């Protein structure tokens, strides 16, 4: 039923309204193509600020933007809320929850989800944060455990509810542990005067020897210093062995009693059925060539986190960050138009503009090529960049007001529990595009 396109233009189907998919669709505006964008949600998610939703500093709508609103008045464009179940490359068609859809060019921009590296027990008990529903669920878990701690008569019984262990010291783990530490430092005594600050513990764990290992030595060191000053116990070079929902165990024998293990130790690509083993690279990503074409296919592409751009020039591949997806989306738009016109394509080259992470109030680390700085000015830079990148004028205003309010009051956010915490059933596979 989805084959009635508006025009006779080539059909470009984009799966996923993340950074890559949105940028690609934007760059196909007013071109002679018929664009169909698919996502399981009706909004684009600004993932870099998701941790603030999880700790209740921002509401979900501040970092989400309606896809339909973004493409209002756009010609030769359609959007469908759907999940892709299977791709039939031989028939140039995809099977979705809203029926079969034909394509001339297919672009998978489905992103990534949390990688528990096959440990079903950890997957069952640890909390992920790769989508807005997951971030809201994490918030409910954190707040409900504080509420439960209130009901426990002894410190021993309160301990697991007040102990937070973040596994994975990349930007997500660093930002989230900083944010939870600030919840303890600035908010706990106001919202929960019956609880003691000293009873609430925050751990940040990584099996690598340092935090923010993808950033400069300087950034890594300073970030750890900031975290420790805020009262986060940083455990590097430590490997998680087991977590059963009550106790997390590390190699070497150390154990921590906790109800709150938050897992940001890795991601894996979200790929629908229909690809062969040979088309996969490390981390369930699709192997792509220099123009983001999936190995062995002519008209199927993958961009962003779901694509593995390993090449001779880049043996380690590209990092799973927004700028890669954005640049690939923009670049692929041109190449698709070249392919349609039988013109030669241009190879993709990543322009690394640096990276940054915030740790807390007045504390951030920024690497811009050779320029590296940390502290208050880095924090201002971080805020400025994120406000600029955030989609939608209303969202920029609302986030700015929230940040200003938080900065003045030391007590921003609403910390609402709209839906109570639920345990996500653990599935064997999750072939779902992530918005």
Interacting residues toward a copy of itself by CB under 8 A:
1-2, 41-43, 59-61, 64-66, 68-69, 72-73, 78, 80-81, 98-99, 132-133, 136, 143-144, 147, 150-151, 153, 190-192, 194, 394, 397-398, 401-402, 405, 411, 414-419
Which residue of the set 123, 175, 182, 434 is catalytic? Answer: 175
Torsion of CA 332, 333, 337, 342, to 10 degrees: 0
CB burial of residue 276 (10 Å; 0-12, 13-18, 19+): exposed
User: Considering the complex, what minimum distance in angstroms separates the CB of residue 216 from a copy of itself?
Assistant: 37
- Least spacing, CB of residue 412 vs a copy of itself, in Å: 8
Closest contact distance (angstroms) between CB of 415 and a copy of itself is: 6
Of 54 and 132, nearer to a copy of itself (C-beta) is: 132
DSSP state for residue 277 in the 8-state scheme: G
Q: Tell me the backbone φ, ψ of residue 280, rounded to 5 degrees.
A: -100, 140
> For a copy of itself, which is the closer residue by CB, 416 or 426?
416
Q: Which is nearer to a copy of itself, 314 or 416 (CB)?
A: 416
How, if at all, do strands 355-360 and 363-368 pair? antiparallel
Least distance to a copy of itself, CB of residue 54, Å:
14
- Gap between the Cα atoms of 227 and 234, Å rounded: 8
Kindly tell me which of 320 and 412 has the beta carbon lying closer to a copy of itself.
412
Q: Say which residues have a Cβ less than 8 Å from residue 348's Cβ, sequence separation at least 6.
A: 290, 291, 292, 309, 327, 328, 331, 332
Establish whether 175 is a catalytic residue: yes
Minimum gap (Å) between residue 129 Cβ and a copy of itself: 15
Instruction: For 2-19, give one letter per residue: b (16+ CB within 10 A) or e.
Output: beebeeeebbbbbbbbbb
Nearer to a copy of itself, 77 or 379 (CB): 77
Q: CA 153, CA 150: separation in Å to the nearest integer?
A: 8
Catalytic residues: 175
């Amino acid at each position: 039923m989805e084959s009635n396109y508006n025009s006779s233009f080539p059909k470009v189907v984009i799966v996923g309204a993340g950074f890559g998919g949105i940028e690609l669709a934007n760059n196909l505006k007013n071109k002679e193509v018929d664009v169909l964008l698919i996502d399981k949600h009706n909004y684009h998610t600004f993932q870099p600020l998701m941790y603030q939703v999880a700790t209740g500093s921002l509401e979900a709508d501040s970092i989400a933007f309606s896809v339909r609103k973004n493409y209002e008045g756009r010609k030769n464009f359609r959007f469908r809320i759907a999940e892709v179940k299977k791709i039939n490359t031989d028939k140039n068609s995809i099977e979705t929850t809203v029926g079969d859809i034909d394509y001339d060019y297919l672009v998978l921009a489905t992103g990534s989800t949390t990688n528990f590296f096959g440990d079903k027990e950890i997957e069952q008990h640890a909390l992920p944060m790769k989508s807005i529903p997951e971030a809201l669920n994490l918030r409910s878990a954190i707040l409900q455990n504080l509420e439960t701690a209130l009901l426990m008569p002894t410190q021993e019984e309160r301990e697991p509810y007040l102990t937070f262990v973040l596994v994975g010291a990349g930007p997500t783990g660093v930002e989230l542990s900083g944010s939870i530490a600030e919840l303890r430092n600035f908010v706990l005594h106001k919202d929960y005067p019956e609880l003691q600050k000293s009873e609430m513990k925050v751990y940040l764990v990584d099996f690598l020897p340092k935090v923010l290992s993808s950033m400069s030595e300087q950034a890594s060191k300073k970030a750890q210093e900031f975290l420790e000053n805020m009262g986060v116990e940083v455990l590097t070079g430590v490997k998680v062995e087991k977590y059963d929902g009550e106790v997390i165990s590390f190699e070497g024998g150390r154990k921590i009693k906790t109800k709150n293990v938050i897992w940001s130790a890795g991601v894996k690509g979200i790929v629908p059925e229909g690809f062969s083993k040979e088309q996969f690279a490390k981390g369930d990503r699709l192997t792509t060539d220099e123009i983001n074409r999936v190995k062995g296919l002519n008209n199927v592409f993958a961009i962003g986190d779901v694509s593995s751009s390993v090449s001779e020039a880049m043996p380690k591949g590209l990092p799973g960050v927004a700028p890669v997806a954005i640049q690939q989306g923009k670049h692929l738009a041109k190449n698709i138009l070249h392919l349609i016109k039988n013109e030669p394509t241009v190879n993709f080259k990543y322009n690394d503009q640096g990276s940054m992470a915030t740790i807390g109030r007045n504390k951030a680390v920024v690497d811009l090529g050779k320029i590296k700085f940390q502290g208050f000015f880095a924090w201002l830079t971080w805020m400025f960049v994120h406000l600029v990148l955030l989609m939608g004028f209303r969202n920029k205003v609302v986030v700015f007001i929230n940040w200003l309010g938080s900065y003045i009051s030391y007590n921003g956010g609403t910390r609402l529990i709209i839906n109570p915490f639920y345990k996500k059933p653990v599935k064997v596979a999750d072939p779902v595009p992530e918005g």
